[in-house]
Every structure is written in structure tokens, then in C-alpha cells.
Amino acid sequence: MHGRVAAPTRMSAEARGTPAGDSAARPAFSEPRTCDADPAVLEPCESCHARCHSVCAGLSVEEINRLALLTQPATIGAGQTFISEGESAVHLINLNSGCVKIFKLLPDGRRQITGFLFQGDFLGIPFNEAYVYSAEAVTDVQVCRFPRRAFNALMEEIPGLEKRLLTRASNELAQAQEQMLLLGRKTAREKIASFLLGLSERARRLGLPDDPVDLPMGRADIADYLGLTTETVSRTLTQLKRDQLIRMEGTAHVRLLDRAELIAISDGE
């Protein structure tokens, strides 16, 4: 059966994706990108690169500082599973840099990755006592952990926070429905085209280059995200290459040669 997870692999930070010292012609992921350098904001938030993309955005300085007092910053190594489905949800987590995959497992090991998260994304459901998915770092990641109960209490006092979470949840829900359409009704070719365009779009929204699309995750992860096997992912990429729609630059970067045609494919013509 397809989609079974292999034994947990432990890979170094540089093993996959965008290594820290790889930036030849474009800004590296880890380049500081502070959106507004307000000196009144406490560390660690003051220098946070992800602030303008996080739930924290739009909060007043005073509100950010109250959040900052709850924050437990941490670094998680690539390959680490730091949330397990079913486990008691002690923390809510905000992702500041790097890439995380969230997924669900079947008892026999089949895996469905339900999302790849990037800087500014939020993990955990405030009102749920247990996590409903597992999460593993794809690259090294930096996170802010918030004790869930304290965060919930703070939400009572900062109405903007609840509103931002609702907006975020709504967007995630819309994206989940898009993904259901993909999983249930698209062909392998359409899935891969959608995936590449989605990553490109995502990078653009984060202010990162959107053309050589960065694939920090391996083929197995792509397969488990799209409901395919690694072999089919490989073959389909090769096919798109043959059709002059993409060009691989190494295994982790894809140049989109004909975006219009890729969009047509991803929409099912």
C-alpha cells in the first residue's frame, strides 16, 4: 500500500531544502525581514522576522508585549516530531522560520500530510484539549510556544487576537476545501501543477522569490501531501520537464517555465 511512513529519519538542518549558505543570487530564508522595527516592543518579539505574517500582526505595542511575556522561543531540528496527534495540547505554537509538515496517520502507517506550514503560521487549536494532528519539522525551525491556557485567557482581553485567529481559521478552511478537491478529483499531473503553483504563491505572499520554487520537503512528503507515491511524483515531474513546463535546478528547486499552462493544468483545463 502506498503512503506508509518509513522509519523516522533524522536529518541535519542542511540536508534538505534551502541550506543557510546556499544563497547564490537571491535572499536566503534566514535573511532578517523585520516589518516594523518598533523599539518599544520587547524581546524576543522585537526582532521577530515573522511578526508581520503572524497572529501578532495588527496588535498594539502593549498587546504584543503582553504576548511576549507568555512566549517561550525555541529551535527545533529538522526531522523532529514536536507534536503528536492525540497528545494533550499544552502549547500553541507560532512558526517564525523554517518549514513544518502536519499530518495524520492510519494504524498501518499510511500517512496524509494535511499541510506545510511556513513563517507566520499557527499550530494548535485554542479550544481543543488535544492535538488533532502530528507535526514534524521539515527544516530547522524557530517557534514561539505559548501555554494554551494562558493564551486563551489573554484572548479574552485582546479581542483582536480572537478575530485574527478566526480569520486565519477561515482561510485554512477554504484551503482545506481546495485540497479536498485536489485529493478527490484531480489527476497526478493536475495535483503536481497545483502543488508547485501553491508553493510559489505562498512564497510570494511571504515576500520571497516565487519563481524558482523552493521545495524544502522530500518527494515522499510531496507524495503524502498529494495522495500519491514518490514514484508517481517523480514520474510526473519528469513528464512536466519533458513538456517544457518546468525545469529542475537540483532536486529542491523548480523553475516554472510556463505559468499560464501550469495554471490551466492545475484547474483541470
Partner DNA sequence: CGATCTGTTGAAGTGAGTCAATAGTGGTGG
Partner DNA sequence: CCACCACTATTGACTCACTTCAACAGATCG
Stretch that binds DNA, among 8-16, 33-41, 96-104, 156-164 (CB under 7 A): 8-16
The position carrying cell 511576549 is 68
Query: Applying CB under 8 A, which residues contact a copy of itself?
Result: 2-3, 104, 106-108, 110-112, 114, 125-128, 132-133, 159, 162-163, 165-167, 169-170, 172-174, 176-181, 183-186, 224, 226-227, 267-269
Q: Which does 35 bind (CB under 5 to 8 A by kind): a copy of itself, DNA, none?
A: none
Q: Which is nearer to a copy of itself, 97 or 266 (CB)?
A: 266
Neighbouring C-alpha atoms within 13 Å toward the C-beta of 236: 22
The position carrying cell 514534524 is 136
Neighbouring C-alpha atoms within 13 Å toward the C-beta of 104: 7
CB 79 within 8 A of CB 8: yes
Sequence-ordered list of residues with C-beta below 8 angstroms from that of 21, at least 6 positions apart, any chain? 14
Binding to DNA by residue 106, rule CB under 7 A? no
The position carrying cell 482561510 is 171
Q: How many residues lie near DNA (CB under 7 A)?
A: 29
The position carrying cell 524581546 is 43
Q: Which is nearer to DNA, 45 or 215 (CB)?
A: 215
Query: Which residue type occupies 64?
Result: I
Q: Give me the residues paired with residue 124 across strands.
A: none
Q: Which is nearer to a copy of itself, 29 or 131 (CB)?
A: 131
Task: In angstroms, give the least distance from the CB of 195 to DNA.
Answer: 13
Q: Which does 30 bind (CB under 5 to 8 A by kind): a copy of itself, DNA, none?
A: none
**Environment class of 95 (CB within 10 Å of its CB; exposed 0-12, middle 13-18, buried 19+):** buried
Binding to DNA by residue 1, rule CB under 7 A? yes
* Contacts to DNA from residues 154-193, by CB under 7 A: 187-189
Q: Which is nearer to a copy of itself, 45 or 233 (CB)?
A: 233
Binding to DNA by residue 248, rule CB under 7 A? yes
**Environment class of 112 (CB within 10 Å of its CB; exposed 0-12, middle 13-18, buried 19+):** middle
Binding to DNA by residue 20, rule CB under 7 A? no
Q: Which of 193, 210, 183, 199 is nearest to 269 (CA)?
A: 193
Q: Write out the residues near DNA by the rule CB under 7 A.
A: 1-3, 6, 9, 11-12, 14-15, 187-189, 218-220, 227-235, 237-238, 248, 250-251
